Structure 1
Amino acid sequence: MSADTLATVKPAVELEGITKRFPGVIANHDIRITVEPGTVHAIVGENGAGKSTLMKILYGMQKPDEGTIKINGAEVSFRTPSDAIAAGIGMVHQHFMLADNLTVVENIVLGTRGGRDTASARARIAALAESHGLRVDPGKLVEDLGVGDRQRVEILKVLYRGARILILDEPTAVLVPQEVEELFQNLRELKADGLTVIFISHKLDEVLDIADAITVIRRGTTVASVNPADVTARQLAELMVGSELPTPETRESTVTDRVAFKVSHLTMEAEDHRPVPKGVEISTYVDKLREEGKRLLLDDVSFEIHEGEILGIAGVEGNGQSELIETIMGIRPAHGVIELGEHDISDWSTLRRRESGIGYIPEDRHRQGLLLEASLWENRVLGHQTRKPARSGIWINRRASKADTARIVKDYDVRTPSVETLALALSGGNQQKLIVGREMSGEPKFLIAAHPTRGVDVGAQAAIWDHLREARAAGLAVLLISADLDELIGLSDTLRVIYRGRLVAALDPSDITPERLGGYMTGAIADNEET
């Protein structure tokens, strides 16, 4: 390309002076970003820095109060996402927006003009998949796809709608290392085809691997634009939050010989739950289900966790983690035995399990952990409404609940103007710290921590790791489920791998790499000589 040609090429995206205010909060202030065409441009910053608001503005979900947006040199004003799509912008959200009961093709054409699973639609999708290296079976049901394939479907959805500028929000949050590398190869092919990618992530090593340029946002404004070749992950972290990149490394062992929590032979059919016939051993019944070819969501799962121990469970999402959590919490029935201390709690209600000392940091804070339209103190009460300080006789003790919420805000560094603030006004990291503080309250005996730092910045991540380590040292038993392999390896005393509903490996965290762990998770390594 000649110098004259380069001079005429307009930036794919120009954001000039973007400012967005909400009541009591300035989310964005004088944001200035230039994204060159055919590049991967990363945007990094701590939770609450304004990244999400900025992307919502670029995608037409919100209007800026000040500033201008230019796409390929032309000034635009988006009223809705449809306007952004028409301008060639597509967004792949962190939480996939796919219908599990539809095929790949049906998901991709859903919502498009004349959208149907037609021969022409299939041909166009096949051509897009082939040309961009996004190979996936178009006739397969989405519920049968792995996480990596689902993400490729999401990218194909926006390409099918004509996107030439892709916004990827935390695209590697749930991927194992092998899937991350596949995604990055897909992004390199998209870039080679002239597409532009805006890449939002908290994983700084990955940002440095894939990005051509990086913009750092802190407290609502741009503070640096850097070349990935000129910075390290630690330097990026310092630009983001003014501190070094934390590590999840756990110090000396605190594991005792006292079993705090135990499950034995947990088994769940994909079809309707039926009780084990009287007089039949669970293991015998499970063998019979396998012989009949029944699909098992949980397949004879057994483990125990001691006081002062963090047991990490690694697995590609969709391999039984959610079912395991729901069974332990009493939300879904399963065969087998669940014990808390010396008590068999298999038949207990979810409320009784909570009251007896089970804490729960859910995998999706918005769907399972918070009432977004409620205040922080009301969210403090959730799941604890029958216990002090929330309960006073038959009523909720508002004064005590607010005082304890103020304690959580202070102890867990939840950045909020007031305990009366609505949960939706907090950044994701601050929402997560509130949930962790709530679940650590009341002296739990056993804690389920499902993806405790998903989507939070390095500062909030370090704080949550510290709280888990302190609780472990005080004797808490923790079941840690995470897609962050460094987190699993660093925090866990013991590691188990779940694959297709079965625990297939028992590993020593001190002697495993993320790459090798990913091999067990995907089934690439089948034999476990360490078990």
Structure 2
Amino acid sequence: MKLELRGITKKFGAFTANDSIDLTVESGQVHSLLGENGAGKSTLMNVLFGLYEPTAGEILVDGTPVRFSGPGEAMAAGIGMVHQHFMLIPVFTVAENVALGDEHTRAGGILDLETTRRRIREISDRFGFHVDPDALVEDLPVGVQQRVEIIKALVRDARVLILDEPTAVLTPQETDELLDIIRQLRDSGTAIVFISHKLREVKAISTQITVLRRGRVVGTADPGADQSELAALMVGRDVVLNRAKSAPTLGEETFTVSNLTVLSPDGVRLVDDVSFGIRQGEVLAVAGVQGNGQTELIEAIMGLHKAQGSIRLDGEELLGRTTRQVIRAGVGYVPEDRSTDGLVGPFTVAENLVLNRYDRPPAGNGLQLDPKAIRRLAEKRVQEFDIRTQGVDLPVGTLSGGNQQKVVMARELVDDLKLFIASQPTRGVDVGSIEFLHERIIRERDSGTPVMIVSTELDEVLDLADRIAVMYHGRIIGIVPGDTSRDDLGLMMAGIDPAASPQDTTPKGATA
């Protein structure tokens, strides 16, 4: 099967998400779409899958122009899509999920799940998926749930399979298993469109690479291309991907969390008896697949969740304090969702830069603001953090994702910090901005501040961490050195505690 996109353009009002994109993928190929978040990759695939109507351009299947008014028509033409966020019903079995929307019935209109079970077993045996048709989806690991999504497409005889950011929620081992599955599908003749911003995976799996930037194709590359070449294509300039950081110079352990437990409203332990400490001048990174208690842990520290246990900073108890009081104690906090929790979109860049200290000098005195001082402070921070804006009086919501994240960082990285916490510090940020933000985090560490990072990106964890705490089902499986292998970290992220993992270690090469 040969699939062609010719001159595909998709506009939302005045905004052009895709601009005259050409793309061809054939049977037995893995064509990767590489680009940062917001580059237009997912929009393009949603056009192909019939979820969006193209503004201009055409789609051809085996040389014949087609037009899809919905996903059903795309699937009927042999196109399947596995979305970044799974489209599964947790309380249904695998067979029930696979049958949904393509139900087979016996005489009398009775649902025929046995046919679906047989097809699942056939596909599972053929590709080594090891999926039980009668298992409840909610009981399956994330990696197996993704296989169910792939089975859903293959049961419908998909000859083109679109995988949208398929490794976003997988452990390293699950990622490797998925890449092996993709190779098998490729070798069986399936045409695959692999969407990602992860250079390592794109190089490992692709037969051809197309790079998007700001909705346009900016180049194509061979899988043998160097990662730095691909990164430069993505952002339009040379980028340092792996910065060399010096060994930490450690001070006292000034931040400690002891026996911290967070319960959900129905009594489930979201954070389960967690204890750790961070010394001055080190980065502790919390790793794990999203949804294992990392968010609740950080929110408990910041006074956003009720918790039991103890949280102490410079000997003072933070548990039970309000978020404002925690910030006043010297904590800088970058939340995982900047648009919801980190910024006020309609407020200006200058106003957002003082959200955490608008009632203190120089921004104000508790009774009134000082607009001139706020502007001076904003202009200084914009220059220092290389925030690309046409003016500090513009709404922060008009900035790109990377520049919005820089605004949050610039606000939180103040001179008198006693602790810096950043949750998903580079989510939705281009490679160039990642380079800058990582540099600022390490600079904060080197100034002697204890730093705590939460990230689901293993490359980011390995780049920044002096020690790594891995969370699984609300507990810390282990705390290991920052140079721990990806394989060991992947096992821990899956809940397996390597026997050699110490509960507390001094970072390799550290001086105390």
Instruction: Indicate the TM-score class for this superposition, using the shorter chain for normalisation.
Output: 0.7 to 0.9
Deviations 1:387-432 (A, max 9, x none): 4588785788888778766666554445556664573x66554444
Q: TM-score, normalised by structure 2?
A: 0.82
Instruction: Return the offset for 1:301.
Output: 1.3
**Secondary structure, counterpart of 2:2 in structure 1:** coil
Aligned to 2:275: 302
Structure 1 range deviating more: 161-170 or 35-44: 161-170
Aligned to 2:509: none
Instruction: Return the offset for 1:433.
Output: 3.6
**Does 1:334 pair with 2:310?**
no
Aligned to 2:506: none
For residue 134 of structure 1, the aligned residue among 129, 134, 139 is 129
Structure 2 counterpart of 1:147, which letter? V
> 1:48·1:429 contact (CA, 8 Å) conserved in 2?
no
**Does 1:344 pair with 2:317?**
yes
For residue 520 of structure 1, the aligned residue among 483, 492, 502 is 492
Alignment partners' CA distance in 2, 1:422 and 1:161 = 45
Aligned to 1:447: 420
**Does 1:236 pair with 2:230?**
yes
> 2:33·2:41 contact (CA, 8 Å) conserved in 1?
yes
In structure 2, relative to structure 1, the CA distance for the partners of 1:98 and 1:440 (3 Å cut) is farther
Deviations 1:188-242 (A, max 9, x none): 122233322211222212211100111122343223223213x221222233232
In structure 2, relative to structure 1, the CA distance for the partners of 1:195 and 1:322 (3 Å cut) is same
Alignment partners' CA distance in 2, 1:379 and 1:37 = 53
**Does 1:316 pair with 2:289?**
yes
> 1:384·1:390 contact (CA, 8 Å) conserved in 2?
no
> 1:48·1:427 contact (CA, 8 Å) conserved in 2?
no
For residue 478 of structure 1, the aligned residue among 448, 451, 464 is 451
Aligned to 1:501: 474
Alignment partners' CA distance in 2, 1:437 and 1:178 = 36
Between the aligned residues of both structures, percent identity stands at 43
Superposed counterparts of 1:153-232, under 5 Å: 153-160=148-155, 162-229=157-224, 231-232=225-226
Instruction: Return the offset for 1:303.
Output: 0.9
For residue 429 of structure 2, the aligned residue among 451, 456, 476 is 456
Alignment partners' CA distance in 1, 2:422 and 2:202 = 26
**Secondary structure, counterpart of 1:217 in structure 2:** strand
Alignment partners' CA distance in 2, 1:57 and 1:463 = 34
Structure 2 counterpart of 1:240, which letter? M
Alignment partners' CA distance in 2, 1:402 and 1:81 = 50
In structure 2, relative to structure 1, the CA distance for the partners of 1:529 and 1:221 (3 Å cut) is closer
> 1:380·1:405 contact (CA, 8 Å) conserved in 2?
no
For residue 73 of structure 1, the aligned residue among 63, 75, 82 is 63
Instruction: Return the offset for 1:93.
Output: 3.1
Deviations 1:350-394 (A, max 9, x none): 3433444433333345665566x7466499379738645887857
Aligned to 2:144: 149
> 1:237·1:458 contact (CA, 8 Å) conserved in 2?
yes
Instruction: Return the offset for 1:507.
Output: 1.8
Aligned to 1:91: 81
Structure 2 counterpart of 1:239, which letter? L
Alignment partners' CA distance in 2, 1:403 and 1:298 = 42
- What are the ranges of 5 or more consecutive residues in structure 1 without an aligned counterpart? 1-9, 274-294
> 1:331·1:350 contact (CA, 8 Å) conserved in 2?
yes
Structure 1 counterpart of 2:319, which letter? S
Instruction: Return the offset for 1:482.
Output: 1.9
Superposed counterparts of 1:311-460, under 5 Å: 311-365=284-338, 368-369=341-342, 374=346, 377=349, 380=352, 384=356, 387=359, 410-415=383-388, 420=394, 423=397, 428-440=401-413, 444-460=417-433
Structure 1 range deviating more: 454-463 or 155-164: 155-164
Structure 1 counterpart of 2:422, which letter? A
Measured on the aligned residues, the alpha-carbon RMSD in Å equals 3.7
Instruction: Return the offset for 1:302.
Output: 0.8
Alignment partners' CA distance in 2, 1:379 and 1:119 = 61
Deviations 1:139-164 (A, max 9, x none): 44444433322322333344455543
Paired positions, count: 495
Deviations 1:323-357 (A, max 9, x none): 32232233333321112333212112334334444
Instruction: Return the offset for 1:182.
Output: 0.4
In structure 2, relative to structure 1, the CA distance for the partners of 1:333 and 1:393 (3 Å cut) is closer
**Does 1:55 pair with 2:45?**
yes
In structure 2, relative to structure 1, the CA distance for the partners of 1:474 and 1:79 (3 Å cut) is farther
> 1:147·1:317 contact (CA, 8 Å) conserved in 2?
no
Alignment partners' CA distance in 2, 1:185 and 1:462 = 30
In structure 2, relative to structure 1, the CA distance for the partners of 1:17 and 1:441 (3 Å cut) is farther
Aligned to 1:11: 2
Aligned to 1:266: 260
**Secondary structure, counterpart of 1:448 in structure 2:** strand
Structure 2 counterpart of 1:165, which letter? V
> 1:146·1:317 contact (CA, 8 Å) conserved in 2?
no
Alignment partners' CA distance in 2, 1:46 and 1:482 = 17
